[in-house]
Amino acid sequence: MNGIVSVREGEPVAGNGETSESAVLLAEYAQIKDEQRARIGFRDNLLYVTLAAVTALTAVALQTKRPQLLLALPVVCIVLGWTYLVNDEKISAIGRYVRTELAGQLATKVDAGSPLFGWETFHRSDAKRVSRKVTQTIVDLTAFFLTPFSALMAFWCSGGDSALLTTASVLEAVMLVGLGIQFLRYAER
């Protein structure tokens, strides 16, 4: 590939000691794939953190018989859900960038006879992809919308403590609806 020896940081990347355009593009690819991998791990762990937080807060609210503690659940799920959604969008954006920009730029530099970075498009052509995406959206909405909304309903059914807490719960419901809408908007079709 045009005399490329290595694309590791600090090493020469062209046989003659110069940096070729294709080597720079490959280095960019390696860097953004590292970022994508890190974001995937972080995003996926947010589901486990959410499950642990929901379990802990629910247990404390039930054991202490203080339903107002359930009002912490929507706040936790909104923060974790938004963080999850932002990371998920960046993961998808990296994939789009590789497929639409980087692969095309590199293909012109190396005169590739076939598409570059084939995995980036191949894994998206799976016949079951749509059902997986729908299922993932349902899981996301359950974790970050339905579960905290259920906590709000439990609080409301308990009679509520004060007008202030009831007002806070209504604001949380509005924010949860906003988050749920964002999950639906960002879900790939």
Supply the pLDDT for residue 114.
Answer: 64
Contact present, 142 and 107 (Cβ < 8 Å): no
- What per-residue confidence (pLDDT) applies to 159? 81
Alpha carbon distance 56, 60 (integer Å): 6
pLDDT in tens, the chain (189 residues): 444 444 445 444 455 544 588 888 888 999 999 999 999 999 999 999 999 999 999 999 999 999 999 999 999 999 999 999 999 999 999 999 998 888 888 877 776 666 677 677 766 778 888 888 899 999 999 999 999 999 999 999 988 668 999 999 999 999 999 999 999 999 865
Instruction: Read off φ and ψ for residue 102, nearest 5 degrees.
Output: -65, -45
Query: In sequence order, what are the beta bridge partners of 138?
Result: none
Q: 126 burial class (0-12, 13-18, 19+ CB within 10 angstroms)?
A: exposed
> What pLDDT score does 3 carry?
41
Predicted local distance difference test score (pLDDT) of residue 188: 64
Confidence at residue 112, expressed as pLDDT on a 0 to 100 scale? 61
User: What is the pTM assigned to this prediction?
Assistant: 0.81
Please enumerate, as own/partner, the contacts of 157-162 that have beta carbons within 8 Å and a separation of 24 or more.
158/67, 161/68
